[in-house]
Chain A
Amino acid sequence: MSVEGEEDKDLTGMNVMKLETYRDAQRACEMLVSDPKVEYAHLIQERFLSPSAKRKVTRGNNQTLDPLISRQWGLVAVNLFQALKMPGFNTAKDIVVAIIDTGVDANHPDLDGIVTDEQNFTSGPLQDTKGHGTHVIGIIAAMRNNKIGISGVCQSQKIMSLKALGPYNGPGYYRAIRYAINNGAQVINLSLGGGHDQTEELLIRKAIKQGVIVVAAMGNEFKEGNPTSYPAAIDGVISVGASTEVDERASFSNTGPHINLMAPGTSILSTVPTYPVELADVLNYEAWPGTSMATPFVAATAALLLAKKPTATLKQVTQALVKGSDKVPGQTGFSKEFGHGRLNVKRALAGI
């Protein structure tokens, strides 16, 4: 598309191209700028109606030296930086957080030394060949102030990465849940979902009965009929929907009576493997959407709550999370769309 009818010489040569993906647009720019006839080519930057509509992460209001922190809008949205300043704030370095997912690139420099237990319950390699698990783990625990990349929410240094997806097999997944329970997981993050499964439910109930905090994603199929996704819909599981930068429900995020709260779930920057994988277009860091990305914000906050109060029960953790959440614009009470609101780490910590 060109600028038609324009008389100003500087503007007549301007053209707008629309491509399918962000990555395609980046590649097109790279190719175009190498042409000597092209003066410049760039991606169109987002503009907002008012500065307050977009959350700002600046050196002034955060406390980290991580160079990509300015792209982590979710940390500001959940009030993490204010939480860090609370008297007696403890990181969750000794809290064991199990992530049942696609595995992890434990050699990622931002995850250096934090994965203390890595198990494979699939018939495939141990390596994270999709990148999903590495992304989730980065949101939870990427190292803060290491002058590399991003900052995770809770700084657990006891990450249990249990690969059960990619390729999936039911018995392997069940064994991963059992392994987490038997090996000291205090929080289990399940950024996964599907239809109801009796054996999964039996195991999740057992985990909950033993005091493990289980956090699961609501699902991303709102536009495909908004099906009830499990394990999120199992009683006692903390179920997480995805919110946007302006505190709306992400358009893909499933709704339902079992939702507990929302957390940031669009354009979430986190770690991806240092080698090419199925789901990532680039190496090291990438921004992804999904209730899968919202869930680890809550799982990590549950770990912070346990760090503050090691004897806290599931009920106390859940209450702190939901009562501490911020109502989103237009919300008055619990709703199937937003749950109790959007996660606020500082308020959750103050409530336990």
Chain B
Amino acid sequence: MAKLKTVIVKFSALVGTASQSEKIRKLVGNNVIKVQQLFPGEKEEDLASLFEVVLDEKSSVESVLSTLCNDESIEYAHTPEERQPI
């Protein structure tokens, strides 16, 4: 099974879920499998402005992150760090 890649995107402000999802799709292009709010229905704006972006296995994560981070409306974008039981 192909390994999908996940990127987390945080906008500086929540403008609208649909329009911001669409913006991510436009910026990233054809490699997007899914875009969704990380916390659907969230009332707190800083958490509501987080999006989970699933990319296909062919994507260059570095390139996607670079594109996203260059957009002024995006506060940050990153891949989740692995967490292990220690």
A residues with a Cβ closer than 8 A to B are 101-102, 130, 132-133, 164-166, 168-171, 173-175, 178, 191-200, 202-203, 206, 217, 219-220, 229-230, 290-292
Q: What CA separation (Å) do A173 and B76 show in the bound complex?
A: 18
Q: Given contacts A178-B39, A178-B47, A198-B10, are A170 and B85 in contact (CB under 8 A)?
A: no
Separation of A173 and B85 alpha carbons in the complex (Å): 12
CB<8 Å pairs between A and B, sample of 8? A165-B85, A173-B83, A192-B84, A195-B81, A195-B82, A198-B8, A199-B50, A199-B78
| Contact partners of B47 in chain A: CB under 8 A | 178, 202-203, 206
Q: Is B6 an interface residue (CB 8 A)?
A: yes
Given contacts A165-B85, A170-B8, A199 and B80 within 8 Å (CB-CB)? yes
What secondary structure prevails in chain A residues at the interface with B?
A: mixed
Q: Check if B86 is an interface residue, CB within 8 A of chain A.
A: yes
State whether A220 touches B86 (Cβ < 8 A).
yes
**Interface set of B (CB-CB < 8 Å, partner A):** 6, 8, 10, 38-39, 42, 44, 46-47, 50, 52, 76, 78-86
Among the listed B39, B44, B84, which residue makes an inter-chain contact with A168, where contact means beta carbons less than 8 Å apart?
A: B84
- Chain A-chain B contacts (Cβ-Cβ < 8 Å), number: 86
5 shortest interchain CB distances as A-B pairs: A170-B80, A197-B81, A132-B85, A195-B81, A192-B83
CA gap between A202 and B10 in the complex, in Å: 11
Residue of A nearest to B77 (CB): A198
- Identify B6's interface contact among A166, A171, A220, A230, CB under 8 A: A171
Question: Please, which residues of chain B bring their CB within 8 A of the CB of A193?
Answer: 83-84, 86
Q: State which of B81, B82, B86 has its C-beta within 8 Å of the C-beta of A290.
A: B86
Cβ contact within 8 Å between A171 and B84: no
What chain A residues lie within 8 Å of B44 (beta carbons)? 206
Cβ B85 vs Cβ A291 within 8 A: no
Q: What's the minimum C-beta distance from B40 to chain A, rounded to whole angstroms?
A: 10
Given known contacts A170-B6, A170-B80, A197-B78, A217 and B86 CB-to-CB distance under 8 angstroms: yes
Give chain B nearest CB distance to A154 CB in angstroms.
Answer: 21
In the bound complex, residues from chain B placing their C-beta under 8 Å from that of A219 are: 86
Contact A191 B46 (CB under 8 A): no
In the complex, which of the residues B39, B52, B81 contacts A200, with contact meaning CB atoms closer than 8 Å?
A: B81
User: Given A178-B47, A192-B86, A220-B86, A169–B6 Cβ distance below 8 Å?
Assistant: yes
Which residues of chain B are within 8 angstroms of A194 by Cβ–Cβ distance? 81-84
Chain B: which residue is nearest A178 at the CB level? B39
Measured CB to CB, the nearest residue on chain A to B54 is A171
Residues of A within 8 A of B78 (CB): 197-199
The residue that B86 contacts in the complex, of A166, A197, A291, with Cβ under 8 A, is A291
Interface contact B80-A173, CB-CB below 8 Å: yes
Q: Point out the residues of chain B lying under 8 angstroms from A170, CB to CB.
A: 6, 8, 79-81
Which residues of the other chain, B, contact A202 by a CB distance below 8 angstroms?
Answer: 10, 46-47, 50
Shortest distance from the beta carbon of B17 to any chain A beta carbon, whole Å:
16
Q: Which residue of B10, B80, B86 is within 8 Å of A169 (Cβ)?
A: B80
- Shortest A265–chain B CB gap in Å is 10
Q: Are A292 and B10 in contact (CB under 8 A)?
A: no
A196 partner, pick from B6, B81, B85, beta carbons under 8 A: B81
* Complex interface: chain A residues within 8 A of B50 (CB): 174, 199, 202
Partner pick for A197 among B6, B80, B85, CB 8 A cutoff: B80
CB-based contact B82/A168 at 8 Å: yes
Which B residues are CB-close (under 8 A) to A130? Answer: 85
Known: A175-B39, A178-B39, A178-B47. A199 touches B10 (CB 8 A): yes
Interfacial chain A residues near B84, Cβ < 8 Å = 165, 168, 192-194
